[in-house]
């Protein structure tokens, strides 16, 4: 079984539908409202676990009812919560999510406890890094936790997937240690200063990231799929899948958790990207984030069909 270590966030998703995104000063009558587990790190952990990975999660939640829910959810999903710690003062993080009638979303994240993951918290999980097949990180936590995770992964020569979301400035020194980076168009543009609008501009942005020392760049392009480039040719587009969209929230997390799992399972890059696209596509056919992550048998059926 593929062993995946994920250092990242856990927040509670507080989501409401809205007929349209409110303008400044506007109040919109929305609904229905739903609440459930979320956060980029946790969502990616659920995606990985549902694709069959043995997942160790490193995060921090509050000593509150939302934190209790987090621990129960990790147990339900079969995710190792040995290194999920409880903060005595900070509350569990929250995400305020609005989803409009087109399935598009706007999100405000209040990290709370997961914003205070320290390098010591990550170091406490060193044995898990040593035993891992791959390490997956995002930027929804304190940067010191991300840097320590990358340091440990490098120490034990483990491949590293960096999902640079939400965007934070990252040093070239940090990027030089990354095996796979998975920005969307906006994040790739912010990382490189090149606005990504098509395959040509995606290639230019990917080349700039390769020059920083990253091995492989995967720029996710929503329903179009993703652009893949390792610096050896012109790159290629892994096409997306045409599905009925209910809610795009969490699609990137679905992709990343699955992608890391497939790589850790020994699946070649080309197939791993296509299968991860399928996982992301299935996730947007349902409302919510973690709860919308498909299971392995659903993905197998979808692809074979």
Question: Would you say 266 is a known binding-site residue?
Answer: no
| Residue 222 among known ligand-binding residues | yes
224 is in an annotated binding site: yes
Q: Tell me how far apart the alpha carbons of residues 38 and 109 are, in angstroms, rounded to a whole number.
A: 10
256 marked ligand binding residue? no
Q: Is 184 annotated as a binding residue?
A: yes
Q: For residues 46 and 79, what is the distance between their CA atoms, to the nearest angstrom?
A: 8
Residue 67 in marked binding region: no
220 is in an annotated binding site: yes
197 is in an annotated binding site: no
Cα(7)–Cα(117) distance, integer angstroms: 9
Is 13 annotated as belonging to a binding site? Answer: yes
Instruction: Consult the annotation and say whether 115 binds a ligand.
Output: no
Catalytic residue among 100, 230, 253, 300: 253
286 is in an annotated binding site: yes
52 known member of a binding site: no
163 is in an annotated binding site: no
**Residue 217, marked binder:** no
- By C-alpha distance, which of 186, 185, 263 is closest to 221? 185
Instruction: Give the chain's largest Cα–Cα span.
Output: 52
Is residue 233 flagged as an active site residue? no
43 is in an annotated binding site: yes
Sheet with 54-62: strands ordered across:
80-87, 54-62, 3-7, 134-137, 160-162, 180-181, 216-220, 225-229, 236-239
Known binding residues: 11-13, 39-43, 140, 184, 220-225, 247, 249, 252-253, 277, 283, 286, 288, 292
Annotated binding residues for K(+), written as ranges, equal 247, 249, 283, 286, 288, 292
Q: Which residues are catalytic?
A: 253
Q: What residues form the annotated binding site for ATP?
A: 184, 220-225, 252-253, 277
Residues in binding site for substrate: 11-13, 39-43, 140, 253
């Amino acid at each position: 079984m593929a062993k995946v270590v994920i250092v990242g966030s856990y927040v509670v998703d507080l989501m409401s539908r809205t007929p349209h995104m409110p303008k400044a000063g506007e109040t919109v009558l929305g609904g229905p409202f739903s609440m459930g587990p979320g956060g980029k790190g946790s969502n990616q952990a659920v995606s990985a676990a549902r694709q069959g990975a043995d997942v160790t999660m490193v995060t921090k939640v509050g000593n509150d009812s939302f934190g209790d829910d987090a621990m129960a959810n990790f147990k339900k999903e079969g995710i190792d919560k040995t290194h999920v710690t409880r903060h005595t003062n900070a509350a569990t993080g929250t995400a305020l999510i609005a989803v409009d009638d087109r399935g598009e979303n706007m999100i405000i994240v209040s990290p709370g406890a997961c914003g205070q993951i320290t390098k010591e918290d990550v170091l406490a999980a060193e044995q898990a890094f040593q035993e891992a097949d791959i390490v997956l990180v995002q930027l929804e936590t304190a940067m010191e936790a991300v840097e320590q995770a990358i340091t440990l992964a490098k120490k034990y020569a483990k491949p590293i997937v960096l999902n640079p979301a939400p965007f934070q400035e990252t040093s070239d020194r940090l990027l030089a240690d990354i095996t796979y980076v998975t920005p969307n168009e906006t994040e790739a543009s912010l990382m490189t200063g090149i606005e990504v609008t098509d395959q040509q501009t995606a290639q230019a942005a990917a080349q700039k990231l390769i020059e920083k020392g990253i091995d492989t760049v995967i720029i996710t392009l929503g329903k179009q799929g993703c652009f893949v480039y390792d610096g050896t040719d012109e790159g290629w587009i892994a096409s997306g899948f045409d599905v009925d969209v209910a809610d795009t929230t969490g699609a990137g997390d679905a992709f990343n958790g699955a992608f890391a799992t497939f790589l850790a399972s020994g699946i070649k890059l080309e197939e791993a990207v296509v299968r991860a696209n399928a996982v992301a596509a299935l996730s947007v056919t349902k409302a919510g984030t973690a709860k919308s992550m498909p299971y392995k048998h659903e993905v197998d059926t979808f692809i074979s069909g």
